Amino acid sequence: MYRPARASLNSRFLNPYVVFFAVVAGVVILAVVIALLIHFLAFDKKSYFYHSSFQILNVNYSDNLNSPATQQYRTLSERIESVITTTFKESDLKNQFIGVHVVKLRQSGSGVIADTVMKFKFPRNNNGASMKSRIESVLRQMLNNFGNLEINLPTEITTITDEDAIHLITQECGARPDLMTLSAERVIGGTNAEEGDWPWQVSLQLDNVHHCGGILIGNTWILTAAHCFRSNSDPSRWTVTFGVSTTFPQKTERVSTILIHKDYNSGTHENDIAVMKLSRTITFNKDIHMVCLPEATQNISPGSTAYVTGWGSQINGGDTVTDLRQGRVYIISNDVCNAQISYDGAVLPGMLCAGLPEGGVDACRGDSGGPLVQQDSRRLWFLVGIVSWGDQCALANKPGVYTRVTAYREWITQQTGI
């Protein structure tokens, strides 16, 4: 018997599977649209920075608080940072608070003022002024909660731009702008660096060709190795480039003076240290700023992590590279480094070893004069070594040997005033 076609069409339309999938697809599309709307209206967060100065009443200012390298500076800044962090983490702004950093401790009468930068994340549509007053109100509640610090609360906090925050942070030594995010540490060990990762690293160029690494330690001073000048020490033939690429540098500066340690010994590698003065003062930015120098007494613990960076060759006897590379190594005690299978007594007290027991990550030719750095408990970067020498590169039991910066701390001050 003949059946009209419509009937079969009808039955296909009413197929429960088709209806089900159509409904599911519709719900999914609606959910995605609603989720995107909620995301952009409520959850698309932006970072906001605030500047605030806290007066510490029960700590007397002393010269020990002049430099972030001293234990007193570190301890006091850590206490202030920790009290402020705890306060926000226990408040209703706990999900918005990202971090706080003491950018400077300064003298006020006989007491101390701590200048801080605080970072928060709020949805974009939030009212900035109301957030500022919520932050101020949380700070006011902190009054009873300062432990053994007696703090005069700031009457006001100031909203600052991202640029102002970066400026405040990068005026300080060793402070990369990422230090307030609690992000996981980058996994590195023989990989390319990104712009701003090692902002104190410079390339020292002889007749415009990369020759050695160097380290920005002030706005006119570069620290490096004495052996970089064995072929030539005429400042007019040297330039300094900044940024991760030596082919497209962010900045190039001329050199006015080269000061080489007068007792540098090319046979023993002793006193392998020199400083260069730049012809002009450098304006720091997020990608170009100075590292911290440790105190002469700072203890460098064997086994602790350090990073070495440079444009040196990737294999023994190879060419230097044009994009900055970074490697993670561990500090090795002079005793271990002087073992017979290692350097058999050639590592002198003014030197420091770092590497991996099995080799594989190391400085090499062209890295000389560059930095070996470590992070302190406040995540500030300190220079502990200057790439100096080694038996080839990355061999097992033949770690890199560095000039021990703590041993030359006085010498650096005598030459540069830093």
Catalogue the active-site residues: 227, 272, 368
Residue 132 Ramachandran class (φ > 0 left, ψ -120 to 50 alpha, else beta): alpha
DSSP assigned state of 39: I
Nearest distance, CB of residue 293 and ligand 4AZ, angstroms:
21
Determine if 332 is a binding residue for ligand 4AZ (CB under 6 A).
no
Q: Spell out, one character per residue from 15 to 34, where the chain touches ligand 4AZ: x when CB under 6 A holds, - when not.
A: --------------------
Nearer CB in complex with ligand 4AZ: 243/399 = 399
- In 3D space, the residue among 129, 178, 185 whose CA is nearest the CA of residue 157 turns out to be 129
Nearest distance, CB of residue 280 and ligand 4AZ, angstroms:
29
Report the alpha-carbon distance of residue 370 to residue 372 in Å, rounded.
7
Dihedrals phi, psi of 17, to nearest 5 degrees: -65, -45
Nearer CB in complex with ligand 4AZ: 101/398 = 398
Percent composition of the chain: helix, strand, coil (DSSP 3-state, to 5): 25, 30, 40
Find the largest Cα–Cα distance for the chain: 113
Nearer CB in complex with ligand 4AZ: 112/273 = 273
Pairing verdict, β 111-123 and 45-56: antiparallel
Nearest distance, CB of residue 343 and ligand 4AZ, angstroms:
11
Report the alpha-carbon distance of residue 359 to residue 381 in Å, rounded.
24
Nearer CB in complex with ligand 4AZ: 54/389 = 389
Tokens at 39, concatenated? 């995301």
Determine if 362 is a binding residue for ligand 4AZ (CB under 6 A).
yes
Considering only residues 365, 373, 374, 384, which one is a binding residue for ligand 4AZ as defined by CB under 6 A?
365
DSSP assigned state of 185: P
Determine if 400 is a binding residue for ligand 4AZ (CB under 6 A).
yes
Report the alpha-carbon distance of residue 378 to residue 65 in Å, rounded.
15
Nearest distance, CB of residue 328 and ligand 4AZ, angstroms:
15
- In 3D space, the residue among 210, 265, 218, 217 whose CA is nearest the CA of residue 239 turns out to be 210
Nearest distance, CB of residue 332 and ligand 4AZ, angstroms:
13
Q: Binders of ligand 4AZ: how many residues, by CB under 6 A?
A: 11
Report the alpha-carbon distance of residue 238 to residue 147 in Å, rounded.
54
Report the alpha-carbon distance of residue 393 to residue 354 in Å, rounded.
12
Stretch that binds ligand 4AZ, among 75-83, 282-290, 346-354, 365-373 (CB under 6 A): 365-373
Task: Give CA torsion, residues 314, 316, 319, 321, to 10 deg.
Answer: 20
Contact (Cβ atoms closer than 8 angstroms) between residue 403 and residue 90: no
Residue whose pair of structure tokens reads 């044009």 in the numeric block: 322
Determine if 390 is a binding residue for ligand 4AZ (CB under 6 A).
yes
Determine if 367 is a binding residue for ligand 4AZ (CB under 6 A).
yes
Considering only residues 383, 386, 387, 405, which one is a binding residue for ligand 4AZ as defined by CB under 6 A?
387
Straight-line distance from the first to the last Cα atom of the chain, in angstroms, rounded to the nearest whole number: 104
Determine if 272 is a binding residue for ligand 4AZ (CB under 6 A).
no
Nearest distance, CB of residue 246 and ligand 4AZ, angstroms:
17
Considering only residues 364, 372, 386, 405, which one is a binding residue for ligand 4AZ as defined by CB under 6 A?
364
Nearer CB in complex with ligand 4AZ: 284/389 = 389
Determine if 368 is a binding residue for ligand 4AZ (CB under 6 A).
yes
Stretch that binds ligand 4AZ, among 106-114, 125-133, 301-309, 364-372 (CB under 6 A): 364-372
Residue whose pair of structure tokens reads 């301890």 in the numeric block: 75
Residue whose pair of structure tokens reads 């190594």 in the numeric block: 329
Determine if 389 is a binding residue for ligand 4AZ (CB under 6 A).
yes
Would you say the C-alpha torsion 179, 199, 415, 298 has a positive or negative sign? Answer: positive
Nearer CB in complex with ligand 4AZ: 235/359 = 359
Nearest distance, CB of residue 390 and ligand 4AZ, angstroms:
3
Dihedrals phi, psi of 362, to nearest 5 degrees: -165, 165
Nearer CB in complex with ligand 4AZ: 85/397 = 397
Pairing verdict, β 221-224 and 381-389: unpaired
Considering only residues 151, 202, 282, 363, which one is a binding residue for ligand 4AZ as defined by CB under 6 A?
363
Tokens at 210, concatenated? 């990369």
Q: Spell out, one character per residue from 34 to 63, where the chain touches ligand 4AZ: x when CB under 6 A holds, - when not.
A: ------------------------------
Nearer CB in complex with ligand 4AZ: 180/393 = 393
Determine if 361 is a binding residue for ligand 4AZ (CB under 6 A).
no
Question: What is the contact surface with ligand 4AZ in residues (CB under 6 A)?
Answer: 362-365, 367-368, 387, 389-390, 393, 400
